[in-house]
Amino acid sequence: MQHAIRTNVASGETLEHGAARATGLLLTGGVLAGPIYLISGFTQAFTRPGFDITCHPFSILSNGTLGFIQISTFLLCGLLVAGAAVGLRRALREGRGRTWGPEGSR
C-alpha cells in the first residue's frame, strides 16, 4: 500500500519528513530528561545551605523558598519523559510485533 506524500508549499517539507522530525525531537527530549534532572539536582544540592547529599534525597529540594526550582525540574522532566513515550510509540512499526523494536531495526 502506497502512502500519499503531501508537501507543505511554504517550506517544501513533506508531512512524513515533518512527522519523523517531530518523533526525533520527542525521543531526544527523553534522552535529555535524566541529565537535566541530575544537573539541576546537584547544582541545587551544592548551593543550598543545610542540604546534605549523603542523607537527603533530591525531592527535599522542593521544600522552602527555592522549592519552585525543583518542582519546575520535576514538571519539565516528567513532560520530557511523557513526550519520549509518545515518540517511542510513533517510532515503532505497525503490526503484531509492534513492541519488538523501532522501525529501523528491520
pLDDT value at residue 6: 47
pLDDT value at residue 56: 94
Q: What distance in Å separates the CA atoms of residue 1 and residue 40, rounded to the nearest whole number?
A: 48
Q: How many CB atoms lie within 10 A of CB 26?
A: 20
pTM over the 0.75 mark: no
Location of C-alpha cell 519488538:
100
pLDDT at 4 over 70: no
> Which of the residue ranges 6-15, 72-81, 92-101 would you say has the lowest mean pLDDT?
6-15
Q: What distance in Å separates the CA atoms of residue 44 and residue 42, rounded to the nearest whole number?
A: 5
- The pLDDT tens digits for 43-93 are 999 999 999 999 999 999 999 999 999 999 999 999 999 999 999 888 887
Per-domain residue ranges of the chain: 15-105
Q: What angle do CA 27, 72, 74 make, to 5 degrees?
A: 55
pLDDT at 103 over 70: no
